[in-house]
Chain A
Amino acid sequence: MNPLLAQFLAEAADLLTQVDEGLLQLERDPGDPELVNEVFRAAHTFKGSSGLFDFPELTRLTHAAEDLLDAVRGGRLALDSGMTDDLLAAFDLIRGWLAHVTAHEQLPASAGADAAGLITKLRAPLGGEPAAAADATPARSGASTIDAAPDWLDQFDAEWLEETASWLVTTSATMRFVRYTPDEGCFFRAEDPLHLISQVPALAKLGLVQPAAWPPPADFDEYQCLIGFVLATRAAVGELNYLFRYVPDQIETVELDGTAIRRHLAGEAPATPVEEQMAHVAEAVAGNLELARDAYDILAAAQRSLNVDTPSGPRLAAVAHSVSAAAAALGMPVEAGEPDLESLTARVSTLLDSAPPPPEEPVAPPPPPPMAAADRGRADDPGGQVGTRILKVDQEKVDHLMELVGELNVAKNGLTFLADAAEEEFGSRVLGRRIKDQYSGLHRIAEELQAAVMDVRMLPLSVAFSRFPRLIRDLSRRLGKSVELVTEGEDTMADKDVIEALGDPLVHLVRNSLDHGIEASPADRVAAGKPAAATVTLTAVADGDAVIVEIADDGRGIDPDKVKRKAYEKGLISEEELEAMGDTDAVDLVFRPGFSTADQVSDLSGRGVGMDAVRASVEKLGGTVTMRSQLGRGTSTRLRLPLSMAVTQVMVISVAGQRFGIPVDLVVETVRVHAAEIGRVLHQEVVVLRDEVVPVVDLARALDMPWTPDPAADRAILIVSLHGQRVGLLVEQFHREVDVILKPMEGLLAYADEFSGTALLGDGLVLLVLNMKEVLNLAARAQ
């Protein structure tokens, strides 16, 4: 992909997030000028950058959004939730487009059609497109373009003027005459009038306008521009307008034919009442500033519309109509002839040129514009992150770095094998010692490197939380509930993989809260003595190596009896359990596969694949989920996740001559017992440890591997804890603990649920890491 497009896409993702967040905050706090400004700026940047590529629909849509936001920013419109909806929809559409652009480097074919409706909606609060023409437009008369000769023509050499006039009369041609009156301070804007004039194409004659009186040399300020120029050229008006576009207020342009010049030379009055018209403008402006300003705005809008949309047919007629109305208001009626794009564009720019924008604040001195104040505050703000440099790095690069750290760890671990070999195979303790020393040095560096890379991968939880304001807003509107979102601890950091993996379970839990947790209507809440608006709280806190994320609502809570009954009806628990089960355990039933508390399955939370899926995915991350609920008071679900999952500590064991890894988190202890100490209760082998009966699972049998333990030897049993249950695993041998980078299962093994992943060991061996839950299920089935 073209690097510029790639850069744009990366930037666009940030801008979209900024716009989304900003809009949602704005809806709550519509008066905040800084917020409006921020959203506007993001939309604005978007539009600006989008123009670099051939995405006209994107430019048009962002343009419409920008105009709406600009009106909000300027205080001409108050943002309501309908507008927010449209704006959000616009940026959603853009998000979709950009996904398409990422894949195909072009907008989807439907972009134009998709955008059209939204653009109309976005423009509606601004009065829509220029009003449609109601009455028929009068026919156009052949308007002359020849101006009256201005007084400053005297600045030209009379002889030259005479010659030029006769040439123009002979050839029926015209010339453009410009008077350039630089500001005294123009040098301080880096303007150099003579440099500009040297660029006038087809310059026929340059004349000097000297100051009325030169100052005495002693008082002469060389940086004050005192002189002016007049020039005659055969360049077109358009060329001149372009060249002098930065100094339009210092320029006066007229188009003259030979007759007009001769009249001037003869001292006759001008033939066309242009000056009279100008006087009208002045009058109109003085008499009704507001009207003039409106008219000017209309002209400016018409110009934009002509430039941007290139309208045709009835739309063009509408623009033409509003232009003539505005011109009339300015006291410069124009013949609203048959509209064609070019002549209309020219007419509008002529009108705009001759009617300079009226002063912004003419009548009542209004309070200082709030934006300006905010801007100043920003500019003077001594704080902020001046000089911080944020490097944007492709995720893949960081992932690759992490992989390399993993491989470094593996290579490092290889040294311990080498040390063992040095001792055992080559009988050199000294060499073994040295290698181990080398190892510990390398180990320290590898650990620091790993920590550094891990740190790069850390993201604040706000990344995971950022989608919820929007989600909750949309869901609550759809459900007719009123819900406030409170987030806490968004600064808490966790590994990006954790943050990413957290997304889906969180969405599920939040949806569940809104769908089932919160009362069906605000009225129900009020009846229950609660505020009409429910609150959903998302909290994140760091807890050692883990991060705890809690989703709490103040809804109706879970009725343990109802849950138990449902579970019983669905055959998930036995009658005894129904009788004996405590409330906490009852609430936990919602995590059982196939359980759904909703009386009616809604389209929001899916069909019964709710909480069990959440638990499964969190456990896959090495985390846990617990739920607490108080009937009538609310429910909170707590996810505990490792801060990082890039490196997993596993205990290596072997059975039937093959090594496996078991996550150290699960390991409680390792014990060796006499074969005779292993008893049997029903069909289950057990061992009694400190007065506790622990079931023992033969791992080799569970994994279907042939192995017969030496009857005389002690039995090696690894005690693991799963969901609070202790289970012993009969293994052949314990090995050491190692840090590994766990990779997901691929290929054929991808479907082997008993393994959670693979890891490369220092001696090059691929270690299969066991998914204990599935292994125990297998064992239960094997019996």
Chain B
Amino acid sequence: MTTVMLVDDSATMLMSLKSILTKAGYTVETAGHGKEAMEKLAKGVKPNLIISDVNMPQMDGITFVREARKAPGMRFTPMLMLTTESEQTKRNEAKSAGATGWLVKPVGPEQLLGVIKQVVPGA
């Protein structure tokens, strides 16, 4: 059972990604910002993949990735950033913070599911 954690302050984005993932048979955990996501990780949620927005209140996506990498069991977990076309520098920052890759909004089902297959072996 592959669990995907979605972190985004946009309820619309969460809703759209969640529906794609749920239909594809993934278990989905959501959080509205980095802090909430960290709390979930601290409570023992262990996703096989994290997909996080970059710009969020409370804790932005890049800080979140950096922190999440330190959370127990998250050392090798694939983490993808949700970015826009223009966020080239953010992607590089995210990579150095420990992100595996990124998705470009808007994220369609093919793109999303394709990337999961690409970064999660056996997903």
Residues of A near any B CB (own CB < 8 A) = 3-4, 7-8, 10-11, 40-41, 44-45, 47-49, 51-52, 63, 66-67, 70, 187-192, 195-196, 199, 243, 245-246, 300, 304, 307-308, 357, 360, 375-376, 378-379, 381, 384, 386-387
Q: Which residues of the other chain, B, contact A360 by a CB distance below 8 angstroms?
A: 89
Q: Which residues of the other chain, B, contact A45 by a CB distance below 8 angstroms?
A: 9-10, 13, 55
Given the contacts A44-B55, A246-B102, A11 and B12 also touching, CB distance less than 8 Å? yes
State the CA gap A243–B72 with chains docked (Å).
29
Instruction: Please tell me which one of the listed residues A52, A63, A189, A307 contacts residue B12 in the complex, with CB atoms under 8 A apart.
Output: A52
A245 nearest CB across to chain B (Å): 7
Given the contacts A44-B55, A304-B85, A386 and B39 also touching, CB distance less than 8 Å? yes
B89 nearest CB across to chain A (Å): 8
Q: Which residues of the other chain, A, contact B58 by a CB distance below 8 angstroms?
A: 378-379, 381, 384, 386
Across the interface, do B86 and A67 meet the contact criterion of CB distance under 8 Å?
yes
Q: Which residues of the other chain, A, contact B78 by a CB distance below 8 angstroms?
A: 190
Instruction: Please tell me which one of the listed residues B15, B88, B95 contacts residue A189 in the complex, with CB atoms under 8 A apart.
Output: B95
Q: Which residues of the other chain, B, contact A378 by a CB distance below 8 angstroms?
A: 57-60
15 residue pairs of the A-B complex, CB under 8 angstroms, read: A3-B15, A4-B19, A8-B12, A45-B10, A45-B13, A47-B84, A48-B10, A52-B106, A190-B76, A307-B85, A357-B89, A375-B60, A379-B63, A381-B58, A387-B39
Instruction: Please tell me which one of the listed residues B11, B35, B53, B86 contacts residue A7 in the complex, with CB atoms under 8 A apart.
Output: B11
A356 nearest CB across to chain B (Å): 10
Across the interface, do B59 and A48 meet the contact criterion of CB distance under 8 Å?
no
Across the interface, do A48 and B88 meet the contact criterion of CB distance under 8 Å?
no
State the CA gap A196–B78 with chains docked (Å).
13
State the CA gap A40–B57 with chains docked (Å).
12
Across the interface, do B60 and A7 meet the contact criterion of CB distance under 8 Å?
no
Across the interface, do B106 and A379 meet the contact criterion of CB distance under 8 Å?
no
Across the interface, do B75 and A188 meet the contact criterion of CB distance under 8 Å?
yes
B57 nearest CB across to chain A (Å): 7
Across the interface, do A4 and B76 meet the contact criterion of CB distance under 8 Å?
no
B120 nearest CB across to chain A (Å): 8
Please provide the 10 A-B residue pairs with the shortest distance between their CB atoms, ordered closest to farther.
A51-B106, A246-B101, A190-B78, A49-B12, A48-B105, A190-B100, A8-B12, A379-B59, A41-B55, A379-B63
State the CA gap A191–B98 with chains docked (Å).
10
Closest to A14 in B: B11
State the CA gap A357–B99 with chains docked (Å).
19
Across the interface, do B36 and A192 meet the contact criterion of CB distance under 8 Å?
no
Across the interface, do A304 and B100 meet the contact criterion of CB distance under 8 Å?
no
Instruction: Please tell me which one of the listed residues B55, B84, B95 contacts residue A246 in the complex, with CB atoms under 8 A apart.
Output: B95
Instruction: Please tell me which one of the listed residues A40, A67, A196, A357 contacts residue B118 in the complex, with CB atoms under 8 A apart.
Output: A196
B16 within 8 A of A: yes
The total of interchain contacts (Cβ-Cβ below 8 angstroms) comes to 107
Q: Per-position contact with A for B65-90: 1 when CB-CB < 8 Å, else 0?
A: 00001000001111100101110110
Given the contacts A7-B11, A375-B60, A378-B58, A190 and B106 also touching, CB distance less than 8 Å? no
Across the interface, do B63 and A308 meet the contact criterion of CB distance under 8 Å?
no
A695 nearest CB across to chain B (Å): 60
Closest to B91 in A: A246
State the CA gap A672–B76 with chains docked (Å).
87
A42 nearest CB across to chain B (Å): 9
A287 nearest CB across to chain B (Å): 23
A48 nearest CB across to chain B (Å): 4
Across the interface, do B9 and A48 meet the contact criterion of CB distance under 8 Å?
no
Please give the number of chain B residues whose Cβ is less than 8 angstroms from any Cβ of chain A in the complex: 45
Q: Which residues of the other chain, B, contact A48 by a CB distance below 8 angstroms?
A: 10, 13, 53, 82, 84, 105-106
B74 nearest CB across to chain A (Å): 9
Instruction: Please tell me which one of the listed residues B19, B63, B79 contacts residue A190 in the complex, with CB atoms under 8 A apart.
Output: B79
B41 within 8 A of A: no
Across the interface, do B12 and A4 meet the contact criterion of CB distance under 8 Å?
yes
Across the interface, do B100 and A191 meet the contact criterion of CB distance under 8 Å?
yes
Q: Which residues of the other chain, B, contact A384 by a CB distance below 8 angstroms?
A: 35, 58
Across the interface, do A189 and B98 meet the contact criterion of CB distance under 8 Å?
yes
State the CA gap A191–B82 with chains docked (Å).
17
Across the interface, do B13 and A49 meet the contact criterion of CB distance under 8 Å?
yes
Beyond A11-B11, A51-B106, 13 additional contacts (C-beta under 8 Å) are A7-B15, A41-B56, A45-B13, A45-B55, A52-B12, A66-B86, A188-B69, A188-B75, A189-B99, A246-B95, A357-B92, A375-B63, A379-B60
Across the interface, do A245 and B55 meet the contact criterion of CB distance under 8 Å?
no
Across the interface, do A246 and B100 meet the contact criterion of CB distance under 8 Å?
yes
State the CA gap A70–B85 with chains docked (Å).
13
Q: Which residues of the other chain, B, contact A304 by a CB distance below 8 angstroms?
A: 85-86
Q: Which residues of the other chain, B, contact A67 by a CB distance below 8 angstroms?
A: 86
Across the interface, do A49 and B10 meet the contact criterion of CB distance under 8 Å?
yes
Across the interface, do B59 and A245 meet the contact criterion of CB distance under 8 Å?
no
State the CA gap A52–B103 with chains docked (Å).
14
B46 nearest CB across to chain A (Å): 14
Instruction: Please tell me which one of the listed residues A3, A187, A300, A381 contacts residue B88 in the complex, with CB atoms under 8 A apart.
Output: A300
A263 nearest CB across to chain B (Å): 35
Q: Which residues of the other chain, B, contact A11 by a CB distance below 8 angstroms?
A: 10-12
A54 nearest CB across to chain B (Å): 10
Instruction: Please tell me which one of the listed residues A70, A187, A196, A199 contacts residue B76 in the complex, with CB atoms under 8 A apart.
Output: A187
Given the contacts A48-B106, A51-B105, A386-B36, A192 and B121 also touching, CB distance less than 8 Å? yes
State the CA gap A10–B11 with chains docked (Å).
10
Q: Per-position contact with A for B1-16: 1 when CB-CB < 8 Å, else 0?
A: 0000000011111011
Q: Which of B36, B56, B76, B98 has the most CB of A within 10 A?
A: B76
Given the contacts A49-B10, A357-B92, A379-B63, A188 and B105 also touching, CB distance less than 8 Å? no
Closest to B80 in A: A246
Across the interface, do B16 and A52 meet the contact criterion of CB distance under 8 Å?
yes
Q: Which of B69, B79, B119 has the most CB of A within 10 A?
A: B119
Q: Which of A195, A357, A381 has the most CB of B within 10 A?
A: A195
Instruction: Please tell me which one of the listed residues B11, B85, B121 contacts residue A195 in the complex, with CB atoms under 8 A apart.
Output: B121
B122 nearest CB across to chain A (Å): 9
A223 nearest CB across to chain B (Å): 8
Closest to B60 in A: A375
Q: Which residues of the other chain, B, contact A381 by a CB distance below 8 angstroms?
A: 58
Closest to A385 in B: B58
Closest to B50 in A: A190
Across the interface, do A379 and B11 meet the contact criterion of CB distance under 8 Å?
no
State the CA gap A4–B15 with chains docked (Å).
7
Across the interface, do A190 and B84 meet the contact criterion of CB distance under 8 Å?
no
Q: Which residues of the other chain, B, contact A41 by a CB distance below 8 angstroms?
A: 9, 55-57
Q: Which of B34, B39, B56, B84 has the most CB of A within 10 A?
A: B84
Q: Which residues of the other chain, B, contact A47 by a CB distance below 8 angstroms?
A: 84, 105
State the CA gap A246–B9 with chains docked (Å).
24
Q: Which residues of the other chain, A, contact B118 by a CB distance below 8 angstroms?
A: 196, 199, 243
Instruction: Please tell me which one of the listed residues B55, B76, B85 contacts residue A40 in the complex, with CB atoms under 8 A apart.
Output: B55
Q: Which residues of the other chain, A, contact B36 by a CB distance below 8 angstroms?
A: 386-387
B121 nearest CB across to chain A (Å): 5
B67 nearest CB across to chain A (Å): 8
Q: Which residues of the other chain, B, contact A192 by a CB distance below 8 angstroms?
A: 121
Q: Which residues of the other chain, B, contact A8 by a CB distance below 8 angstroms?
A: 12
B49 nearest CB across to chain A (Å): 9
A387 nearest CB across to chain B (Å): 7
Across the interface, do B69 and A376 meet the contact criterion of CB distance under 8 Å?
no
State the CA gap A651–B100 with chains docked (Å).
70
Q: Which residues of the other chain, A, contact B75 by a CB distance below 8 angstroms?
A: 188
Q: Which residues of the other chain, B, contact A10 by a CB distance below 8 angstroms?
A: 11
Q: Which residues of the other chain, A, contact B106 by a CB distance below 8 angstroms?
A: 48, 51-52
Closest to A15 in B: B10
State the CA gap A49–B105 with chains docked (Å).
8
Q: Per-position contact with A for B27-39: 1 when CB-CB < 8 Å, else 0?
A: 0000000111001
